[in-house]
Amino acid sequence: MKYPTLALALALTFGSAFAASAAEPQLTPLFNGKDLTHFKAAESAGFWRAENGILIGENDAAKKGNYLWTEKSYGDFVIEFDVRWKATTERGVDTGLEMRSPKIQLQLGISGSLRVDMTGSFYTGGKPAYPEIGQAKDAKKLMKPEGEWNTFRIQAKGNTFTCWINGQKASEYTDAKFSGAAPLGFQIHPGVVMKCEYRNIRLAEL
């Protein structure tokens, strides 16, 4: 009588493991570490480059802004990446990931409008620009020191946008307004002396 019980327990264990692996989206590289394949590189010449497996964004002498847009549009997706930056002025670094249509952004660094670090919070461009419900209020506790790599995971699924920082859920925002598929854009904010670095950028459509 013990053997059927053991067999059932093993079946349930393997079944649960299979279901968990099937539920996890299969992330594939969006950035190949060598060049700007999969991105609209011509529109971002002089601002973004690939070096030693790292995507580097840096503004020009005129402090112009730029977005490095993907060639493809995305609706529901999960994206993961490592990112780091180090502020050289009081304005800090202002970058992030733009998504959907109309545009909504996951902020990384100092908000250009608030002059406050809003890393991990969702920027809608409305009033308020950073809805309180979509703010990552514990981001500083989840982040490693400035200049070190931090891993972000962003999911856009239906009307809900979620951000994890170093494996911990940091923020979530739900709004039916931001429903259209659109290219993803990595930002360099205008008017700021800044440099940001991304690596291990992987994505899965849902």
Enumerate domains of the chain plus CATH numbers: 27-205 (2.60.120.560)
Question: 179 with 191: CB under 8 angstroms?
Answer: no
CA dihedral 127, 132, 137, 143 (to 10 degrees): -50
Question: 36 with 30: CB under 8 angstroms?
Answer: no
Give the predicted TM-score (pTM) of the model. 0.88
DSSP string, 56-105: EEE--TT---EEEEEEEEESSEEEEEEEEE--SSTT--EEEEEETBTTEE
According to the model, what pLDDT value does residue 19 have?
44
Cα 64 to Cα 10, 45, 158, distances in angstroms: 60, 12, 33
Structure-token match 């994890």, residue found: 164
According to the model, what pLDDT value does residue 23 have?
79
Closest to 97 (Cα-Cα) out of 49, 163, 47: 163
According to the model, what pLDDT value does residue 90 have?
84
203 bridge partner residues: 28, 79
According to the model, what pLDDT value does residue 4 have?
53
User: Per-residue confidence of the chain (206 residues) as pLDDT tens digits?
Assistant: 444 555 555 455 545 444 445 578 999 999 999 999 999 999 999 999 999 999 999 998 899 999 999 999 999 999 999 999 998 888 899 999 999 999 999 999 999 889 999 999 999 999 999 999 999 999 999 999 999 999 999 999 999 999 999 999 999 999 999 999 999 999 999 999 999 999 999 999 99
